[in-house]
Amino acid sequence: MLQALSKNFIHQPNPSSNWVLQGRVMSRQTLKLALNEHVRKRFIDGEYAISDHAIIEARKDGIEPRTVEKLEWVAINGEVIEEYVDRERVLIYAVLKEENLPVHIIVDYSLREEPVVVTAYVPDSKYWLSYKTRKTRK
């Protein structure tokens, strides 16, 4: 049985199954690439939002000045390191070169027309390996 995720996305609950995006059947990897490119293009085109929460948390972690510009840069140039498909969100990682500062942002793409950066932070090394892989809990 197919389950609707949103007006444009449908998937089969079995994780090994193919996904259907706007009538095109694709593998999970192909879907991931399509979503990443869709989100990236929205940021490039200036069609995105950044929550107040994301700006506040970013500034608390030292991502300033030019906070919005830096979060936009992470969204465009960063690497998706985790996907939360059921919540229609991705975790993106990049290093701000000027400050040599690792940054994580979570982007909600449930609104196709306008992805939203919902939070941003500097990852803590006690929870992350190389800031890209979660450490296993003991």
Q: What is the pLDDT of residue 12?
A: 40
Q: What is the pLDDT of residue 9?
A: 41
Q: Is the pLDDT of residue 29 over 80?
A: no
The DSSP string of 27-71 is -HHHHHHHHHHHHHHHHHTT--EE-HHHHHHHHHTT--SSHHHHH
Q: Which residues contact 16 (CB under 8 A, 6 or more apart)?
A: none
Structure tokens at 41: 């293009």
**pLDDT tens string 67-97:** 999 999 999 999 999 989 889 999 999 999 9
CB atoms within 10 A of CB 44: 12
Nearest of 124, 122, 111, 120 to residue 52 by alpha carbon: 120
Q: What is the pLDDT of residue 6?
A: 38
Q: Is the pLDDT of residue 26 over 80?
A: no
Average pLDDT along the chain: 83
Kindly report which listed range (2-16, 45-59, 79-93) carries the lowest average pLDDT score.
2-16
Identify the sign of the CA torsion 9, 13, 15, 17. Answer: negative
Q: Is the pLDDT of residue 18 over 90?
A: no
Structure tokens at 125: 């090394």
Contact 10, 25 (CB under 8 A): no
The stretch 109-124 carries a mean pLDDT of: 93
